[in-house]
Copies of this chain bind each other. A is one copy, B any other.
Amino acid sequence: MLAALLNGKPTTATQPTNLFGDGLFETIAIRQGQPCLWTYHLQRLQQGCRRLGYPAPEPDQLLAEAQQLAHPHTQAVLKIVLSIPPVPRGYQRPAEALPNRYLSCLPWPQQPLYQAVDIPIHLQTCQTRLGCQPLLAGIKHLNRLEQILARRELQPPADEGVMCDQQGSVIEGIMSNLLLLDAAGYVTPPVEACGIAGVVRQLMLDMAAQQGIPVRVATQSLAELRQAQAVYVMNSLLGVRPVASLDGLAYASVRLPHFLRQVHQACFELASPV
């Protein structure tokens, strides 16, 4: 950890969290001293606060704190955690409980995947499936056992895992959203019943709408995923990346089309202030 703020005050402590994952988080790329895709991250955090019944963070204050941490760094990671303080026992949130606001700045990941943008991703199908829970779908909450169990399944050379819902429909990656290109065009699975509404996924949908590029939102079978012309993964630290293989089976096209190169660039150019 490079630096951290707890409710606005510098701290060297790790984040104070409650036992039951009663919280939200955002993982944000820092480029040239600014948090990237700030508006998208803020909107998802606000949506999460509504769902979990937290007061929304004050946007100007949150941005000021994010910029304070981001300012010294050309390239780093900003993590925001809103979480209810620890409770001794039981599921009852104390009436007066307000989430702690913990922002920390971490070094940019060392793995090659995060160092070079032209490294394609190897996918592996995970046995761990996502539970259907519309109350928690979309938001980036802190109940992440499904992702932790799925992550344990990955074997080299897989960089990322494909997660399905209980019916076996493809929903997302463990740490990313998925975009497929098939004969009918682009398609990305819905995240209303399970999965996370990724900021890059939303940016991609917004840019596609602006440019008149149709993107369907629909679950895909594993067979459809395998038979896609191309597959891409998206998240705030990777941007948009082409997928080289799924379970060892190579995809024909492993390059970003012009539109997705634009989205990728926008991931790291759309720094705040916005």
Are B93 and A152 in touch, CB under 8 angstroms?
yes
Asked if A31 is an interface residue, CB under 8 A from chain B, the answer is no
Are B133 and A20 in touch, CB under 8 angstroms?
no
Chain B binder among A65-73, A140-148, A177-185, A259-267: A140-148
In whole Å, how far is A160's beta carbon from the nearest beta carbon of chain B?
Answer: 11
Residues A148 and B22 in contact in the complex (CB < 8 Å), given A77-B89, A131-B131, A131-B132:
yes
Chain A, range 51-84, C-beta contacts under 8 Å to B: 52-53, 77, 79, 81, 83
Residue in B20, B27, B132, B194 whose beta carbon sits within 8 Å of that of A21 in the complex: B20
Are A149 and B135 in touch, CB under 8 angstroms?
yes
**Interface of chain A, main secondary structure:** loop
Residues A106 and B91 in contact in the complex (CB < 8 Å), given A145-B52, A152-B53:
no
Are A20 and B144 in touch, CB under 8 angstroms?
yes
Asked if A151 is an interface residue, CB under 8 A from chain B, the answer is yes
Asked if A125 is an interface residue, CB under 8 A from chain B, the answer is no
Chain A, range 1-35, C-beta contacts under 8 Å to B: 1, 14-15, 17-23, 25, 27
Are B19 and A91 in touch, CB under 8 angstroms?
no
Are B131 and A133 in touch, CB under 8 angstroms?
yes
Cβ-closest chain B residue relative to A21: B21
Cβ-closest chain B residue relative to A1: B88
Asked if A129 is an interface residue, CB under 8 A from chain B, the answer is yes
Are B52 and A91 in touch, CB under 8 angstroms?
no
Are A145 and B92 in touch, CB under 8 angstroms?
no
In whole Å, how far is A158's beta carbon from the nearest beta carbon of chain B?
Answer: 12
Residues A93 and B17 in contact in the complex (CB < 8 Å), given A132-B131, A135-B129:
no
Cβ-closest chain B residue relative to A144: B20
In whole Å, how far is A3's beta carbon from the nearest beta carbon of chain B?
Answer: 13
A91-B174, A92-B151, A143-B144 known; 8 new pairs, CB 8 Å cut-off, are A14-B86, A17-B19, A20-B148, A21-B142, A22-B148, A91-B147, A132-B166, A141-B145
20 residue pairs A–B, Cβ–Cβ below 8 Å: A1-B88, A17-B17, A19-B21, A19-B25, A19-B142, A20-B142, A20-B144, A21-B142, A22-B144, A53-B149, A53-B152, A90-B151, A91-B148, A91-B174, A93-B148, A93-B152, A131-B132, A133-B146, A136-B146, A143-B144
Top 3 closest pairs, chain A to chain B, by CB: A131-B133, A21-B21, A131-B131
